[in-house]
Structure 1
């Protein structure tokens, strides 16, 4: 090892980010923080748990010295939180947003794309955990908190978020369209919004307090109920 190098070792869970860049000695400049070094190797700090320097706990603000050995652990699951989680999802995670809302989880979603700066600002202003597959977005310092979504598949994405953050589940209490809260509705109030014209063949009617969307048990309910049942069995 040269005089201006350190050794950085990553937990296996972080291999998806690191690749060949994290193998072998890493050159340092004596100025950059440990957090900057880790991110320069492709790992968002949102995915980092404990940092150990020569076996001792360290913070991302630590400035590495030549010859040190750094161990980078993955974030703990479930992840400790100071308050119940509220989420903000980028434009690429619309299906995940709807599934979280189906389970009663507060999941704001931006569509159309408002840009990384505006997303980060909303995350900070509303104390929402930013969910994204965009590492650049997750590296923005102004976000309140964030998490990388590892899978392309909505079912795996949902399991990932629920296992990591363990949010309270309250199925069928949020609007899947706008994230507003649902309230029970009478047939007379929503008659003109139902397929049969009077709503007498539908039960469990609900209406969003924000956007007015009406919900009932239609042909698609069995598919939605399967998602809810699976989530409750795993995470309730």
Structure 2
């Protein structure tokens, strides 16, 4: 018995995921008559995290729909800003360290995992903590236990940041999170961090902040202008409260700049 044939069209923003024959427009696909539309779309290369509306003959259906012979299917991208079932909290894989630090710089809750954790543990943490999994790994984003996820399209941190901010519109609170561990910052007196400062730093600066979790110390140092430019551009383009005071700069321990 001949397998059912459907006709499928992918939105242009999804062409990055599919084979050349599916990028030209409407294309024929044979199905097994039992698999869901969600499974079919993923088998053609598109993670469901990147899929918005699924239309069959102009009627919206769920990923659990089982296509039948002759159906005309349109696969759309995610509408922006994407609505989440909870607060905009993120989990980033090992390849997105710079993006994690930039999100934290803007006060966005961005957890980041070390290289030795596997996909199963990442997906489990996303589920338990209800965090949006951000990754360039399509296989990771296909794991069913992920609470929510998003593919990071660019290799460039500046573009990655804009992609996340435009897609999820998280509230911004610059200079309130530790770029090293994601903890919250509080102002602190110089005397309170005396033992954690180099002599030159202690002589040159008077305003300090400290992470309430890892106790990292921050101040306005040589990299402040670069960091402030990132903050000002994000606030200007995506909204949020401008910082009430000039933010601190790099941690004493020399964490990499964002």
Q: TM-score range by the shorter chain?
A: over 0.9
In structure 1, the gaps of 5 or more residues are: none
Q: How many residues align?
A: 235
2:17 maps to what in 1? 17
Separation (CA, whole Å) in 2 of partners of 1:196 and 1:22: 62
Separation (CA, whole Å) in 2 of partners of 1:186 and 1:167: 31
CA contact (8 A) 2:3 2:33 kept: no
1:90 maps to what in 2? 93
1:26 maps to what in 2? 29
Aligned-residue RMSD, C-alpha: 1.4
More displaced 10-residue stretch of structure 1: 199-208 or 137-146:
199-208
Matches within 5 A, 1:220-231: 220-231=223-234
In structure 2, the gaps of 5 or more residues are: 240-258
Partner deviation per Cα, 1:150-195 (whole Å, 9 max, x = no partner): 0000000000000000001011100000000111110101122223
1:121 maps to what in 2? 124
- Alpha-carbon shift at residue 198 of structure 1 (Å): 7.3
Q: 1:216 to 1:70 in 2, by over 3 A?
A: same
Q: Which runs of 4+ in 1 moved over 6 A?
A: none
TM superposition score normalised by structure 1 = 0.96
- Alpha-carbon shift at residue 83 of structure 1 (Å): 2.4
- Picking from 137, 151, 155, the partner of 2:140 is 137
TM superposition score normalised by structure 2 = 0.88
CA contact (8 A) 1:3 1:67 kept: no
- Alpha-carbon shift at residue 21 of structure 1 (Å): 5.1
2:107 maps to what in 1? 104
- Picking from 59, 62, 67, the partner of 1:64 is 67
CA contact (8 A) 2:8 2:28 kept: yes
- Alpha-carbon shift at residue 197 of structure 1 (Å): 5.8
Matches within 5 A, 1:140-155: 140-155=143-158
Partner deviation per Cα, 1:16-59 (whole Å, 9 max, x = no partner): 00122535210100110000000000000000000000110100
Separation (CA, whole Å) in 1 of partners of 2:158 and 2:128: 29
Partner deviation per Cα, 1:62-99 (whole Å, 9 max, x = no partner): 00001001000000011112322100000000000000
2:170 maps to what in 1? 167
Matches within 5 A, 1:21-60: 22=22, 24-60=27-63
More displaced 10-residue stretch of structure 1: 97-106 or 73-82:
73-82
